[in-house]
Structure 1
């Protein structure tokens, strides 16, 4: 067993070990050599080498997303650190614990013209839970800061930053530790008891209760709680693909339901009480509805974050949602509401579903047709990762088997890092993983495939419409050179070359029949990662989607 000679590096490594931070993602560099040597030499740690720092950070985020515990990313000094920022922002808004460890030059080397040197202290100030700017010499103060930072990442579920200055020589090693950090026991903050009686009375008085569930971990809500919602006729539950919640009485496709609404429909849906759970909501239409037809009260139930997304938040309930509703049910054991709220929505939902089925029968091959064919065939008990932009929005229109866990980087909703995150998640979960993405997002993060850890059962489905197709759907689309070049960013790249370079099995489909046939072989392959490229017609996709929403009511 060898250790870095630099004592500060020894302290960081030993403290990470004591806090059971096992997954360490390292980007090659020189200034971080003491950390690299120490982490890679200790069999306790599982170390990964990923050269592109942006990809490395999203890969780490994907692992942390699955294990629900911090992973660490380690980089050299200078601009390498700045490449972590997109993943840090995503971790911050998605409440994913991430430990960022950056090597730095000593303080006296900053801003004197020394190489590979920037102002690293507090560089992530706007999107970090804790920044520990360590001193060069090992000390009890350093040890305390490191531990407080890691405890913060665990307790508040988000990113923290340890900035560690190292002076040369960097590669010297020793056979014995020369530090003995004083380990601090992590004490979870007690959550104050919630006055459930108060909320039970409010619940009883609301004749129309709308529950909106955003990004949510699988199995975060029990069947008992879901049945409690469904059995209350005054409750309507709206979910999204990323809610990971399933019940036959819940609305899983919000936009399909409300897009054709008239003012009268919106007023009928307008709740007395809005209850929100989970993270970010995808549907722009539901956000617009709730901002324009505000509920009398809005409760958000969470342990850490309380976003006033709809500009009407009245109650910040600091509690685990499952625990809160378990207590609430006890207070409402004799509650028997009379309301037509849920039955009205369910009747509309059935009508929309029939229009949905009828419309899909006649559509040409397109993005929407591809999703229609793919979703029923997704492997059960697998994990589905979806990229942002058009892919996650199409996914909202189709039901998904309840055994499939769904994830998307909705914290910042960016296209950067979706592929890297999905690969990290595949490693962290060790379950078969399917990643559905668009061509622009895939090309933007193509360095994600420069990765030696991709499982053999990892699969990519690439919907290639040769540009940012979502911009054709958004208001303001104009068919001209400016739009095609600077918004849609049309291209004619051959994706098969990337697949070959990174040793992915490659499949392609350009129409419905071909896609149906090729999916059989695509699902069957299990001896190497696989990529299925589905080429859809650029000019047709947006019209099909517009026609879909226009034909929901006849």
Structure 2
């Protein structure tokens, strides 16, 4: 093993090792050399080199999302760290423990016109749960400090060491216990490449974390009574890790005659009694002549939510207008008042909550669930009929693709149109679905999927649109693409979602500044990054290419599906008219 000769670098690396943070994503640079040397020369760590800092941060986020443990991303000084920010914001709103490490220049080099210097301290504080700004060692490069930074010598190296140790410990504790992003900023003075075989600071023993204590101060008798007496209960589940809700709990919820359970594709919850396509229930009501009456029939007395953020705009608009009497959110960390009617935040896990509540004698009886089940059965039949009528389009492609995903795959959905189309079709329960819904940006979907695939026992499929794919094409610029990595790129030559949103107009300005129409193909990118490339421009080509696409191979594969830009929105909007 080899270490940097700079104490702060040694302290960070030894703390990471003692806490078990072993996956380190490194973007190349010079100022971070002390840490790069220390991490890469220690066999305990798995180190990954990603040049593009934005991609590196999403790559690390994908790993942390999959492993459900902290993963670090490291960069040099200057603007490099700012490219981490989109992934940091995503981690903040998705409760993912991303550890950002930024090497910095000494304070006396900042704002004097020196190269690669910006004000790095606390620059991420609005979207991290802790910012640790370490102090510069005064035992390293002492002659330079005497010349330019004498004020640093007011503290001894022992005091600096104690401060840095405490700050690193606090940052790591927050990352682990809060499942949140943290930032550690470390100033280094040259020389940066000195090495020692043994650290100069005391080795740290492996630390054990205290588990986070959860308050259980609820009146369970009162909660159970409210649950049993509610004749119209709605459960709405957002982003949820695969296999987190026990089958026993799912079965109890499915058997409750007064409960309508809406799932999103990102919820990873499946049962024949659940409602998998929220918009297919809401949209026909919006178009109905009895809109107010039907919405009143759907309005829950008790709304119960758990999981992350909700995709469906329609259910959010409905619940904000037709608010329930009570809204309980179950989460050990936070409760978003998404519908402006939150009444209780229950800070335990959903499995324990439902075991305490569900199964009590139901005193209120209603037709709530059975009525909406009939509506669900109607739209499912109409969806099948609609698919037989329409031409080749995004809508038909999503039906084919989702039906054709092999069992057991890990599926990453890009944002914008992709995740919204996926909401309309049932996913096989064996699939594990992920999507960056914390900020809902298109900027890192590819990088996140690649990072997540590293430790996946199953193959990974990225289902993406053209703007998201081309925007993050640097996400393929690395050496970690597995042969079983697959990308389905639905290329409708622009931002198709803007043709669905209000304000669409057939003008040159709309095509240029909203839809951003283009004529790009992924063929040459696929060749450059070593992908086998397939293309489909009609239904027959798509059906023929599917078997080849999923077949075992020595290289990753990309299937580009070209769909009609000016027809897709009409077919999607026509679907909601048809099922109405």
Q: Which residue of 2 aligns with 1:234?
A: 258
Give runs of aligned pairs for residues 252-401 of structure 1, distance below 5 A: 252-261=276-285, 262-329=291-358, 332-335=359-362, 337-401=364-428
Give runs of aligned pairs for residues 24-173 of structure 1, distance below 5 A: 24-137=24-137, 139-173=161-195
- Displacement of 1:126 in angstroms is 0.9
TM-score by length of 1: 0.98
Q: How many residues are matched?
A: 551
CA contact (8 A) 2:229 2:363 kept: no
Name the CA distance, whole Å, in 1 between partners of 2:219 and 2:231. Answer: 21
Q: Which residue of 1 aligns with 2:236?
A: 212
CA contact (8 A) 1:50 1:56 kept: yes
Q: Which residue of 2 aligns with 1:483?
A: 510
CA contact (8 A) 1:64 1:428 kept: no
Question: Relative to structure 2, which stretch is displaced further, 501-510 or 332-341?
Answer: 332-341
Instruction: State the SS of the aligned residue for 2:346.
Output: strand
Q: Which residue of 2 aligns with 1:498?
A: 525
Name the CA distance, whole Å, in 2 between partners of 1:432 and 1:72. Answer: 24
Instruction: State the SS of the aligned residue for 1:116.
Output: coil
CA contact (8 A) 1:140 1:181 kept: no
CA contact (8 A) 2:102 2:185 kept: yes
Q: Which residue of 1 aligns with 2:209?
A: 186
CA contact (8 A) 2:228 2:363 kept: no
CA contact (8 A) 1:28 1:49 kept: yes
Question: Relative to structure 2, which stretch is displaced further, 36-45 or 106-115?
Answer: 106-115
CA contact (8 A) 1:143 1:181 kept: no
Question: Relative to structure 2, which stretch is displaced further, 200-209 or 248-257?
Answer: 200-209
- Displacement of 1:246 in angstroms is 0.3
Instruction: State the SS of the aligned residue for 2:566.
Output: helix
User: Cα RMSD (Å) of the superposition?
Assistant: 1.1
CA contact (8 A) 1:238 1:252 kept: yes
1:248 aligns to 2:272 (yes or no): yes
CA contact (8 A) 2:228 2:361 kept: no
Name the CA distance, whole Å, in 2 between partners of 1:169 and 1:309. Answer: 51
Post-superposition CA distance 1:209-264 (Å, at most 9, x none): 00000000111111111111111111110001000000101100000111011211
Q: Which residue of 2 aligns with 1:469?
A: 496
- Displacement of 1:371 in angstroms is 0.7
Give runs of aligned pairs for residues 398-409 of structure 1, distance below 5 A: 398-409=425-436
Name the CA distance, whole Å, in 2 between partners of 1:238 and 1:394. Answer: 16
Unaligned runs of 5+ in 1: none
- Displacement of 1:429 in angstroms is 1.8
Cα distance 1:140–1:181, how it changes in 2: closer, same or farther (>3 A)?
Answer: farther
Name the CA distance, whole Å, in 2 between partners of 1:335 and 1:341. Answer: 13
Q: Which residue of 1 aligns with 2:477?
A: 450
CA contact (8 A) 1:233 1:337 kept: no
1:13 aligns to 2:36 (yes or no): no
Unaligned runs of 5+ in 2: 138-159, 286-290
Name the CA distance, whole Å, in 1 between partners of 2:284 and 2:357. Answer: 35
Name the CA distance, whole Å, in 2 between partners of 1:548 and 1:317. Answer: 38
Name the CA distance, whole Å, in 2 between partners of 1:350 and 1:334. Answer: 28
